[in-house]
A and B are shown apart, each in its own frame.
Chain A
Amino acid sequence: RYSEQADTEHLSRWKKWRRTSSKSLKKALSEAKGVSSYLVLWRHDIHSIEGRKFGAGIQSYFSFLRFLVLLNFIMFILMFSFITLPIIISKYGVLNSTIAYISPKNTEDVCTVYEPSDNKGLVYFYTYLKDLLSGTGFLEVTSLFYGYYSIDTLWISITRYNLPLAYLLATFAYLALSFLWIIKRSVEGFTHNLVHDADPFQSYCNKVFAGWDFCITDPNAARLKHRSLQYELQTDLQEEKLKQKIAERTMGEKLRIYSLRIFINIIVIAILSGCFYSIYRVTVFSQETSNVSIRNDSRTDLVNLLVQYLPSIVITLANFIGPLIFSFLIRFEEYTPAFEIKLTLLRCVFVRLANIAVLLFSLWSQISGCASDKCKPCGYNYKLYPCWESDVGQEMYKLMIFDFIVILAVPLFVDFPRKLLVTHYSCKLVQWFGYKEFEISDNVLEIIYGQTICWIGTFFSPLLPAIATVKYFIIFYVKKIVLVHTRKPAARPIRASSSNFFFMVVLLIGLILAFIPLAVSIAHIPSSKACGPFRNFNTSWEVIPVTILQFPTVLQQIFFRMASEAFAVPFFVILCIIMFYVIALARAHKRVVEQLREQLV
């Protein structure tokens, strides 16, 4: 003890000061963390859901919703501050700013004719409602849609603000931001998944002798633990029995099962093609009739609205019926339960995302599909779609609004009456009907579908993320109320870590799917000459080469070198080498883990 004291005396004053300051810094950091945890959105709500009898899987659904609200909010801030805000500043002449409209140089005059039917004069009130629901009329000329941004450069005091370039870069920025954020979150879930997936140690003895958590004090939590233990034991036993059965299959049985599986997959593909074809026909029909009626005004407005919403209705129906059929069919294929769940989910994901792709494809076939030289002057169907980006934006807007209406209507017209029936009529049939469980995968696919629409639509309608933020905000409270009042706790508790990773993977698939149509629109289809910031360019992508050509020669050289083969090929080769190295490292680690496991057991 004396030597210790002597040591501390010998420590110079500098070291003492450093030690005390690092201690106080740590304390300050931990207090700041405590305070900032109060600022996390909905922290209390999500904890209360977990604390009740619903379990951690459902809680992960709600934190996924929270993540989407934040993501959409940041996207909205991004688009607003870089695109809409400069225009608002210049329109009101703040900071000595002016707008420059450069007239298009070498395009035909017929391409630049665009008269959005803004409501002037006396109109009925329901016209406003119709416009609100379908994005036409007065909504078409607001900053919600692409057509508003028909500005080429802004001069804010003396700096020149290149709006077309900003528009394109903001689009890439929000895609990259979403991509990076999702990857970051999925990596956390992935490592968690890997660590907890140690199969050999999940033996029966471990579950039975050490399964009960002695720290549980709440009877509700105890009930949940009982249920999850029961479910885990039952599924393990079932999987073991099934594996035995599979191993004992004779040749004849194997043949029968494989041919049955091929047959069912053919049925699935047939159903999918049926869905796609019907969506294509309905979209074409809706576009043609709505264009005709705008000119002739021959139908009543309600029918017109219905026709405009027809693609959304058909897509929602397909999204609803498809999963039902898939979960019915998969029973005949005799997979293990875990694989069954995964395959059904995969098919449902494919249905939902491919429906959007088919819708967009049919829209494009309309826009650039020219029967008799109609597209010659401008490259797209300028008669029907003078400002085709606004039209695509309107379709996305309608999809989003309809999705929102459906999510609000289903609890109102299905869940609450069901609850009233079950609580007030005690006849056997109604009781067998009973409360529904909260199906996590269905709900997650619903919101991922909405988010994919938002990603695609934001390029054509920059303020769409704001609508998405409000939509998910309201959906959180609606789902929470539905959960608490009309749902019974799941009989099969789901692990939270694997759910998180699964949500992120599907969201990533949605993002990649959203990127493809955007890439095609930006780079392949000629931008409309009558509206929008890309009037003076052939395609929207052309802004970037044009801007690069304005850089000093040195930078130009660098960019051209980067895009040439002499750079791209070695870059690709190095990337491959890095990837192989990482894979080899992972394999080596896996072997070490196996060896350690052998030693332990």
Chain B
Amino acid sequence: AYKRFSELLPKEERENACSARVPKSQILTLPELRANPFQHRICHVFSTSESGDDSMSFEDFLDMLSVFSDSATSDIKSHYAFRIFDFDEDGTLDRKDLEQLVNCLTGQGEESRLNSAEMEQLIQNILEESDIDKDGTINLSEFQHVVSRSPDFARWGGWGFIT
């Protein structure tokens, strides 16, 4: 893992990679993040930089790898998935978050988005399935509940290139 991290730094800073911070543009060149529609959210969630430029230190990098590895528990995965999907960072997944989430999934570009009627119907269905207290938003415990029943989530984020 240290090797992967130090490869992202420019040559001069490689000696003290332990304390250096890699800028976001470099992180996005990682092959696993390159094609991922949630790349920006992932960088933002795992970055602990105070200046808000989403750069990651080595500890942040390790954090990210450990969450996305095969040996992470589903608790940890669902916690971080909730933070990644929460686009406006208000602690709940409301309609706007869900809309942005679906748009990320279906791809960039105008013709790959669902039209507003379909989006409305889809969000309605999602809220029906997961919103237990019927407040129109999904909080962390509702999210973890619905995700624990989903068979595909167990394989979520399994990068597996680091043991």
* A205 B35 Cβ-Cβ under 8 A: no
* B118 A237 Cβ-Cβ under 8 A: yes
* A201 B32 Cβ-Cβ under 8 A: no
Q: A211: which B residues are within 8 A, CB to CB?
A: 105, 152
Q: How far is the CA of A229 from the CA of B152 in the complex (A)?
A: 14
Closest residue of chain B to A209 (Cβ to Cβ) is B147
* B152 A206 Cβ-Cβ under 8 A: yes
Q: How far is the CA of A206 from the CA of B126 in the complex (A)?
A: 9
B122 at the interface (CB under 8 A from A): yes
CB contact list, B108-153 vs A, under 8 A: 112, 114, 118, 121-122, 125-126, 129-130, 143, 146-147, 149-153
* B121 A215 Cβ-Cβ under 8 A: no
* B105 A229 Cβ-Cβ under 8 A: yes
Q: B156: which A residues are within 8 A, CB to CB?
A: 210, 214
Q: B125: which A residues are within 8 A, CB to CB?
A: 204, 240
CB of A438 to closest CB in B, whole Å: 20
CB of A194 to closest CB in B, whole Å: 15
A221 at the interface (CB under 8 A from B): yes
Closest residue of chain B to A222 (Cβ to Cβ) is B35
Known A226-B112, A227-B107, A600-B149: A212·B36 in contact at CB below 8 Å: yes
* A233 B107 Cβ-Cβ under 8 A: no
A223 at the interface (CB under 8 A from B): yes
Q: How far is the CA of A192 from the CA of B35 in the complex (A)?
A: 29
Known A205-B150, A233-B114, A234-B114: A214·B122 in contact at CB below 8 Å: no
A273 at the interface (CB under 8 A from B): no
A203 at the interface (CB under 8 A from B): yes
B106 at the interface (CB under 8 A from A): yes
* A209 B112 Cβ-Cβ under 8 A: no
Q: CB within 8 A of A230: which of B107, B121, B147?
A: B107
A601 at the interface (CB under 8 A from B): yes
Q: CB within 8 A of A201: which of B31, B101, B147, B151?
A: B151
Q: CB within 8 A of B126: which of A204, A214, A223, A600?
A: A204
* A206 B159 Cβ-Cβ under 8 A: no
Q: How far is the CA of A222 from the CA of B157 in the complex (A)?
A: 15
* A230 B112 Cβ-Cβ under 8 A: yes
Q: A240: which B residues are within 8 A, CB to CB?
A: 121, 125
B87 at the interface (CB under 8 A from A): no
Known A206-B150, A206-B151: A227·B35 in contact at CB below 8 Å: no
Q: B35: which A residues are within 8 A, CB to CB?
A: 216-219, 221-222
Q: CB within 8 A of B121: which of A208, A212, A214, A237?
A: A237
* A226 B126 Cβ-Cβ under 8 A: no
Closest residue of chain A to B104 (Cβ to Cβ) is A212
Q: A241: which B residues are within 8 A, CB to CB?
A: 121
* A210 B36 Cβ-Cβ under 8 A: no
CB of A200 to closest CB in B, whole Å: 10
Tally inter-chain residue pairs, CB-CB below 8 A: 101
Q: How far is the CA of A348 from the CA of B30 in the complex (A)?
A: 48
Q: A219: which B residues are within 8 A, CB to CB?
A: 34-35
Q: CB within 8 A of B114: which of A216, A218, A230, A601?
A: A230
Q: B31: which A residues are within 8 A, CB to CB?
A: 217
Closest residue of chain B to A212 (Cβ to Cβ) is B105
Q: How far is the CA of A241 from the CA of B117 in the complex (A)?
A: 11
Q: CB within 8 A of A214: which of B36, B107, B143?
A: B36
Q: CB within 8 A of B105: which of A215, A218, A226, A600?
A: A226
* A204 B106 Cβ-Cβ under 8 A: no
Q: CB within 8 A of B107: which of A216, A218, A221, A223?
A: A223
* B101 A208 Cβ-Cβ under 8 A: yes
Q: B58: which A residues are within 8 A, CB to CB?
A: none
B23 at the interface (CB under 8 A from A): no
Q: A208: which B residues are within 8 A, CB to CB?
A: 98, 101-102, 105, 122, 126
Known A204-B125, A205-B126: A229·B106 in contact at CB below 8 Å: yes
* B153 A210 Cβ-Cβ under 8 A: yes
Per-position contact with B for A342-367: 1 when CB-CB < 8 Å, else 0?
00000000000000000000000000
Q: How far is the CA of A106 from the CA of B68 in the complex (A)?
A: 85
* B129 A203 Cβ-Cβ under 8 A: yes
Q: How far is the CA of A223 from the CA of B34 in the complex (A)?
A: 12
Q: Which among B118, B146, B158 has the greatest number of chain A C-beta atoms within 10 A?
A: B118
Known A217-B34, A218-B35, A234-B114: A226·B106 in contact at CB below 8 Å: yes
CB of B49 to closest CB in A, whole Å: 23
Closest residue of chain A to B82 (Cβ to Cβ) is A209
CB of A207 to closest CB in B, whole Å: 8
Q: How far is the CA of A215 from the CA of B151 in the complex (A)?
A: 17
CB contact list, B3-38 vs A, under 8 A: 31-32, 34-38
CB of B104 to closest CB in A, whole Å: 8
Q: How far is the CA of A241 from the CA of B124 in the complex (A)?
A: 13
Q: B130: which A residues are within 8 A, CB to CB?
A: 205
Q: A218: which B residues are within 8 A, CB to CB?
A: 35
CB of B129 to closest CB in A, whole Å: 5
CB of A492 to closest CB in B, whole Å: 13
CB of A70 to closest CB in B, whole Å: 34
Q: CB within 8 A of A233: which of B37, B81, B106, B155?
A: B106
12 contacts between A and B (CB under 8 A): A201-B150, A205-B130, A209-B146, A209-B150, A212-B37, A214-B158, A215-B32, A219-B34, A227-B107, A229-B106, A233-B105, A237-B118
* Cβ-closest 9 pairs across A and B: A226-B107, A222-B35, A210-B152, A230-B106, A210-B153, A206-B150, A217-B31, A204-B125, A214-B157
Residues of chain B touching chain A, judged by Cβ–Cβ distance below 8 Å, are: 31-32, 34-38, 68, 81, 85, 98, 101-102, 105-107, 112, 114, 118, 121-122, 125-126, 129-130, 143, 146-147, 149-153, 155-160
Further contacts, 9 of them, CB under 8 A, given A205-B129, A210-B156, A233-B114: A215-B32, A216-B35, A218-B35, A221-B35, A226-B106, A227-B112, A230-B106, A234-B118, A237-B121
